[in-house]
Amino acid sequence: MSTNGNDRLRVFAGRGSKVLAQRVCDHLSIPLGGARTEVFPDGELIVKLDEDVRGRDCFVVLSTCAPINDNLIELLIFLDCLHRASAERVTVVTPYFGYARQDRKDEGRVPITAKLIANLITVARADRVLAIDLHAAQIQGFFDLPVDHLSATPVFYDYFMERRADLGDLCLVSPDVGNVKVAETFANLLGGDLAIINKRRVSGSEVVTGNLIGSVEGRTVLMFDDMITTAGTVCEAAELVKRRGARRVIAAATHAVMAGPAVARLAAGTIDQIVCTNTVPTEGRLGPIAEKYVELCVSKLLGDAIFRIHHNQSVSALFKRTAGAKR
Mean pLDDT value across the chain: 93
What is the spatial distance between Cα 197 and Cα 64, in angstroms, rounded to a whole number? 30
Using H for helix, E for strand and C for coil, what is the string for the chain?
CCCCCCCCEEEEECHHHHHHHHHHHHHHCCCCCCEEEEECCCCCEEEEECCCCCCCEEEEECCCCCCHHHHHHHHHHHHHHHHHCCCCEEEEEECCCCCCCCCCCCCCCCCCHHHHHHHHHHHCCCCEEEEECCCCHHHHHHCCCCEEEECCHHHHHHHHHHCHHHHCCEEEEECCHHHHHHHHHHHHHHCCEEEEEEEEECCCCCEEEEEEECCCCCCEEEEEEEEECCCHHHHHHHHHHHHCCCCEEEEEEEEECCCCCHHHHHHHCCCCEEEEECCCCCCCCCHHHHHHEEEECCHHHHHHHHHHHHCCCCCHHHHCCCCCCCC
Average pLDDT of the residues in 258-283: 97
What is the spatial distance between Cα 87 and Cα 57, in angstroms, rounded to a whole number? 7
pLDDT, one tens digit per residue, over 23-32 is: 999 999 999 9
Residue 314 pLDDT: 94
Q: Half-sphere exposure of residue 105, counting CA atoms within 13 Å on the CB side?
A: 6
Report the catalytic residues. Answer: 199
What is the spatial distance between Cα 121 and Cα 78, in angstroms, rounded to a whole number? 11
Residue 205 pLDDT: 55
Average pLDDT of the residues in 196-208: 66
Residue 201 pLDDT: 59
pTM of the model: 0.92
Residue among 185, 183, 208 nearest 196 (CA) = 183
Percent of residues, the chain, with pLDDT higher than 90: 86
* Ordered domains of the chain (ranges, CATH): 9-152+299-319 (3.40.50.2020), 153-296 (3.40.50.2020)
Residue among 247, 237, 235 nearest 196 (CA) = 237
pLDDT, one tens digit per residue, over 132-144 is: 999 999 999 999 9
- Cβ distance 190 to 220 under 8 Å? no
Q: Half-sphere exposure of residue 100, counting CA atoms within 13 Å on the CB side?
A: 27
What is the spatial distance between Cα 216 and Cα 220, in angstroms, rounded to a whole number? 8
